[in-house]
Structure 1
């Protein structure tokens, strides 16, 4: 609600002063008239002291970090600078915090008694990511008060600053502990420590250095062979996020709208990050094969931020692509194959059975499995788990689940 320029005390003082002036004229009391004029003059002077001041020239808002994950904190710094011929009164300040963030963005403003000097005021507060999506902080609202508390002036300073709330990347357990029975275990420490180059022999060609001759292979094969370095490629992993609108609540079309879809997005980026750190080259696609993100093996912190930002505004799509997922991924064979779905029906079992052969370790997570949909998927060779509220627990239940051999 918009408030007037006078406080309740100032409005009372002005009303009393006017009443005294009117009563003094009728009663013929110069003392009452003088006191009434004093009160009215004081209220007017307090108003003028606030409204004649020049507004601050600049408001700079700085965020650290500029993008904040759900559940993590962001430090907001405000720097207000300007110059006024009059002393700066005290007051209060409030910064507008959107629904996607939570925090206390308000405080008191100190008064300054040095007129004409250029002043810089530093303010700060902390917000926590609450809902994924693009948001804006600000503008800053400052309410100044005169020393007598009779008048106030409300100003909006500066503009709004964009801030992105990204999905949480949860620390998941390594997949290597369950990869042995599926034939996709990685010895990541040894690979990183010893290198991944293999030496294989090939026939000698003119121009090859004699120092590269593989004498043992030459004796065995009866012709001159040389050593050839072959770079060992990193194993592939594929993560599929089903975005069909009919599989999720209607609110999932907008980022941060559906809690189940938010858990799915967080699980998706967390799995991608975990697999990349396990040594896999990871590709993340939606149900029609559209690429959402890609990660090289052993990524750095910058890649983690880019991955999270890529999913900050993701919502559902109109098409129901799960029934045709095997066609979208035709010709692709990977190690871990992870599918994250919304509603899962028993009728989806045939496509899952065809799709499961594309991965050495197929894992399925469903937010809303119907009837025996998970049992059907398990019989098709998938490790399955219902999507819960806790990303780490969901991942553990999925990776530890038993499956029926295909």
Structure 2
């Protein structure tokens, strides 16, 4: 556009000087026509720009990774015969989406842009500027979206979810202290646990008559009911020094695995404790608790320090240990596998999902007893999840 503008200036100057030097009216006629066109473009652009207003919106504030977000722009204002609008929209991905529309009488006032988001995360979307220009490219007026007070719209891109095959019940120990962790006392249940003193309101059917006759005090039978142990999922959110694109790709695949596993477990009513290598943890109790975990995983940054082994050691020391443990990582080391094996020896089924990320140097770690190591190709998440984990 700048080249056309300077070309117009040169033509105006040439015909003006030519007319003044030769005295011929033809030069002045052409000069007048060019000047009229240029002034018409300038005045038309300024007139349109002063009256132009817009309102921006998103069709949905939440979309799935790999799909497109629909951005809507409603324009109002005066139109001119030779005016075009160039709209620049910040997509939040480091580049702008552009749309060039005619702003002529009878033209549409609505602009729809479709922007694809391949990776999960939080984005800010909105108009950065609107350029009012003429069809000849002689002049333009730039209207800044931020100066007009337009706030960028929040957009959450969530990971894709695939069907996952998970065991029906967590594997748990049935002997010793671990058995005590899997059951709690109750007034009715699966098996007799121990007697307790009679309390008003206890049913006569549960009175321990032999012990009551022997001690001459009323005792009631107390039972045990099985308590399902929770499931632990740890997501290693270290970026391993990867470049931006590779880090985004690893984060997308890792969160696809996490969301798919947690979704399948939540649908079957399991209690899942979801933790990251750094940052807080989330608790998912059945289908109602999954949306909060889903959005948390969508926004989880992959920049933390690896603390997976520390988490596993802490969980092994807890009184209420998990019945199953999943670890999603890009590199399994000997310390991590040893701690997973420790959980396995305590009656916990341990699964390590290792994402095969290009650029991450893997350490050769021995597969420990009680630990299932599952390699996950970057493009093989659906295939891996179809197998029993």
TM range (shorter): 0.7 to 0.9
Note the C-alpha offset of 1:237.
Answer: 0.9
Question: Which of 19, 29, 54 is residue 14 of structure 2 equivalent to?
Answer: 19
1:324 aligns with 2:310: yes
Note the C-alpha offset of 1:162.
Answer: 4.0
Structure 2 residues not aligned, in runs of 5+? 174-185, 213-217
Note the C-alpha offset of 1:284.
Answer: 0.9
Structure 1 residues not aligned, in runs of 5+? 115-119, 185-196, 400-406
| Alignment correspondent of 2:369 | 380
Question: Which of 111, 135, 140 is residue 123 of structure 1 equivalent to?
Answer: 111
1:61 aligns with 2:65: no
Q: How does 1:99-114 map to 2 (within 5 A)?
A: 100=93, 105-112=98-105
Note the C-alpha offset of 1:242.
Answer: 2.6
Contact 2:337–2:371 (8 Å) recurs in 1: no
Change (3 A) 1:113 1:380: closer
| Alignment correspondent of 1:392 | 382
Question: Which of 267, 276, 287 is residue 266 of structure 2 equivalent to?
Answer: 276
Question: Which of 267, 270, 277 is residue 257 of structure 2 equivalent to?
Answer: 267
Q: How does 1:306-345 map to 2 (within 5 A)?
A: 307-318=294-305, 320-329=306-315, 330-331=317-318, 332-345=320-333
| Alignment correspondent of 2:88 | 95
Other structure's SS at 2:342 match: helix
CA deviations over 1:208-263 (Å, ceiling 9, x no partner): 3xxx8465x459879899999999866411101234x4xx52137x7973533432
Distance 1:17 1:291 in 2: 68
1:29 aligns with 2:17: no
| Alignment correspondent of 1:134 | 122
| Alignment correspondent of 2:131 | 143
Distance 2:382 2:247 in 1: 21
**Could you say what the CA RMSD is over the residues aligned between the two structures, in angstroms?**
4.0
| Alignment correspondent of 1:296 | 285
Other structure's SS at 2:105 match: coil
Note the C-alpha offset of 1:281.
Answer: 1.0
Other structure's SS at 1:176 match: coil
1:41 aligns with 2:36: yes
Distance 1:230 1:108 in 2: 72
Aligned length: 357
| Alignment correspondent of 2:339 | 351
CA deviations over 1:350-398 (Å, ceiling 9, x no partner): 323213235532111123684652xx33x42112211321322233456
